[in-house]
Chains A and B, each alone.
Chain A
């Protein structure tokens, strides 16, 4: 459906970096630094009907990628195509194709919603139909019918004549969505659409968004820095960092099998234990750490002797007052140093040797700091990541 190949977008570096680069050039050093890579060789493919999420911290290039797809930024090179229509193509010697944003026919929801304050709800939604070329513009009656249908779907039908600025935050969000899908675009772009809402509303709209996307079957690209949102909504997630896609996969895959320390850290919380690969045993890897030996089921094949990090999710750590007597693998002893009640769970921080391991248990478990405890970690729930 959407294919992106080798997309590159650079920005002019700020004045200071530029002058530094200039002096570096005068000294005969490398001169690559005058431009900053916002998007650095990004490729991915989105299938029909998917909800595809670009996830990453601010400045990782996710919004620039989205704006390049929309046609609001002009990339330096690469190829963007939706279906069999090439929207952008440049950089490998052929003549540049760069379709203007208003001819791409995509839908987009902006972070601020960008509701036009001088128009009514109806006019906001009708605008994309009204500005079509005369030959393709539907008649007045048809526009009204299509707008009203979309407003009904968004439960905004009763507000059609209202001034757009008089809507609540959630209603504005639905209005922005209605405007983006009224033309039935092949692709819907969403730029952090929930970030302006308060926590409660965000949660309810998240499910609403997922339901709508499924019912309407619109292929969507969703940009967010909120990992919870990404995990809840997406069919696929591309985690971005410094302009590059560092991992791409289904939400569960990315959560349980982060392929780098960055991904494990950015999505959820994790304990990181440094160690060295001691041996392979079927699909399990044995890792020697300073705190003891760990067995990890891992698809990542690291050679024996190489350094590695074991990423342990707090909920994968089982805390117990009694030991198994050495029958269970991955059992460590330590002392509880801290305890925090979070409502729906309890976190214990346990000191094992020099390392501190965070555990998350159901709220019924509560152990005094100072108590000696046993920690058990299921090899299936641990993951091995290479040292950065």
Chain B
């Protein structure tokens, strides 16, 4: 605003404007040209565009054909044979995975927070896994472990229980892999819930004469019930939206769920776009119901605040003779979620062709797969594309969301609530549905980005906007309004205040968000699979292609490279974050 407004503060009073009408016009024009107005309006417009346009086109593409409005696609899809099985499979898979992840995650969280269980450091290593091992690699690792033909576990157990004891290509296998992959997220949610609970609530129950088990049943469980219900809803929605597991495990035996059916519909020839849209809308509807329910639970849970605010260090419960049992369970869990998948990937990446481990296999181990990878031009391109997209979308999202968070938290601009809601819309949209929506937009729009990296960038920015918003809003809330006001009173314009005071203070939160988006964008598959075109594959797509080609050993090498890249990126980002963040000590 410094460029337009006249009259430096310390000189004569402002000259009176010529007349009320013209001065109002001049004022409106002046305020419209301020950088603040331009930036704020621009950010709000971009958020609205990203969040709402794909949905609009999805609806349009599903309900309108050349002749106008039609319910044809809906009728066709939802009266087809096997639609009942499809919905049944989807719900079974989703609830089953959610339940498994809940049981595993909650047990581990309780053991970790409230008991003297051994091997506590392992918990946090295990909880980083969904960030470090992408879903597609995790699924493939489990195929290596438990497929009826080539599964290592089956090979090990054959002398004991006969051939093909485990079959990962069943709905149970799908639930196992998805549930296990989701369990660290439940673990983190429940650790937070148990930590925020005042242990004196439990202690007073014990003092009243209740046994440990009664205390858990009557006090602990009811107090964390909101967190449990919220977790199960969130995990159900996430499993519904999951694409990797149903596509890699389910398609083998024709077990279809919504996501794999949408993918299948688009892959068949001719692709039934409107039919896929109708399925996508069905999936979206279920996801929306789940998210609304979990929000309602979240709201209710505020009624019994368990946080007391004072620092406390709960006395861990003595497990007694169950301590070794719990220890063995922890080790088993760690092996199942971390060691086995990573080990099998590394092992496979060193083989010429996939065989069960034997002296022969270890003797003929080679680095040929990595050499092949280096010569595979696609691999370099995919790594580059993944880096460009990850860094690009993380940077863009965090910059835009820092302004958006200011609009929502600090400004008094009318309609700021809409910006907030719009930024959270993509959270409800399954990745595959979003990919479909975006492809509908740019197939029809004159903007020539279909089949380029840009369309993927748009998809990633849209998908990760809600996460960026959450990080930015949280850190904005932590900055006292007075820090901003004092800059303003000191004479700084809006932009100077934003750049010199807010951005540096927000930076720890923005960097945390950046790291998160960077890592999750690396594992992104479900949107990319509908939007990529040959030549601009990303790492996860390339792995998917290699899987379809059956070149497992190269794929494993690629997976190892991908995991290492992620480890390096996360480490570097944390180091940088610690440097530019607030110096605290």
* Chain A residues with a Cβ under 8 A of chain B: 70-72, 84-86, 94-95, 97, 100-108, 110-112, 114, 116-118, 127-128, 131-133, 135-136, 163, 165, 176, 179, 183, 189
Contact = CB atoms under 8 A, between A and B. Distances in A.
Contacts, number: 92
Nearest to B585: A166
Contact of A72 (B23, B483, B489): B489
A110 B14 contact: no
Interface stretch (B165-173, B272-280, B305-313, B492-500): B492-500
Interface stretch (B2-10, B181-189, B210-218): B2-10
Contacts of B582: 117-118
14 contacts: A70-B485, A85-B9, A95-B20, A101-B489, A102-B489, A102-B492, A102-B497, A108-B489, A111-B482, A112-B480, A114-B483, A114-B485, A127-B492, A179-B486
B541 to A, nearest CB: 40
Contacts of B488: 71-72, 100-102
A135 B5 CA distance: 13
B485 A131 contact: no
B24 A103 contact: no
B491 interface: yes
A123 B366 CA distance: 59
B27 to A, nearest CB: 8
Given A110-B486, A112-B480, A163-B583, A95 B491 contact: no
Nearest to A131: B492
A345 B523 CA distance: 75
B5 A103 contact: yes
B395 to A, nearest CB: 20
A95 B17 contact: yes
B219 to A, nearest CB: 34
B406 to A, nearest CB: 16
B451 to A, nearest CB: 44
Interface string B459-491: 000000000000000000000101101111111
Contacts of A131: 487, 490-493, 496, 500
A122 to B, nearest CB: 14
B1 interface: yes
- Of B17, B482, B496, most buried by chain A (CB within 10 Å of CB) is B482
Contact of B10 (A86, A105, A110, A127): A105
Going nearest first, the 4 A-B pairs with the smallest beta carbon separation are A105-B9, A128-B490, A114-B486, A114-B482
B500 A70 contact: no
Given A105-B491, A117-B582, A95 B486 contact: no
B419 interface: no
B504 interface: yes
Contacts of B490: 102, 127-128, 131, 179, 183
Contacts of A189: 489
A227 B207 CA distance: 48
Contacts of B10: 105
A105 B491 CA distance: 6
A27 to B, nearest CB: 30
A106 B23 CA distance: 26
A94 B2 CA distance: 25
Given A110-B485, A116-B505, A102 B23 contact: no
B87 interface: no
A5 B8 CA distance: 24
B496 to A, nearest CB: 5
A184 to B, nearest CB: 10
Contacts of A85: 9, 13
A86 B9 CA distance: 11
Contacts of B9: 85, 103-105
Interface string B6-37: 00111011100100100110000000000000
B501 interface: yes
B374 to A, nearest CB: 44
A73 to B, nearest CB: 10
A118 B488 CA distance: 17
- Of B17, B492, B505, most buried by chain A (CB within 10 Å of CB) is B492
A132 B493 CA distance: 9
A132 B491 contact: yes
Nearest to B3: A133
A85 B20 CA distance: 20
A20 B207 CA distance: 47
Nearest to A186: B10
B544 to A, nearest CB: 44
A98 to B, nearest CB: 10
Contact of A114 (B480, B492, B500): B480
Contacts of A183: 490-491
A66 to B, nearest CB: 11
Contacts of A71: 488-489
Given A116-B501, A117-B505, A133 B23 contact: no
B480 A103 contact: no
B487 A127 contact: yes
B240 to A, nearest CB: 36
Contact of B491 (A84, A111, A128, A165): A128
A86 B8 contact: no
Nearest to A123: B500
Contacts of A136: 8
A155 to B, nearest CB: 21
A107 B9 CA distance: 13
Contact of A110 (B8, B482, B492): B482
Contacts of B505: 116-118
B493 A102 contact: yes
Contacts of A118: 504-505, 582
Contacts of A94: 20
A70 B488 CA distance: 9
Contacts of A179: 486, 490
Contacts of A108: 485-486, 489
Given A86-B14, A102-B493, A128-B492, 8 more contacts: A70-B485, A72-B488, A101-B488, A104-B9, A112-B482, A114-B485, A118-B582, A127-B500
A233 B361 CA distance: 88
Contacts of A133: 2, 8
A107 B489 CA distance: 7
- Of A70, A72, A176, most buried by chain B (CB within 10 Å of CB) is A72
Contacts of A101: 485, 488-489
A131 B498 CA distance: 12
A100 B496 CA distance: 14
Contacts of B20: 94-95
B391 to A, nearest CB: 24
A116 B492 CA distance: 14
Given A72-B488, A85-B13, A95 B480 contact: no
Contacts of A163: 583
A95 B17 CA distance: 9
Contacts of B1: 100
Contacts of B5: 103
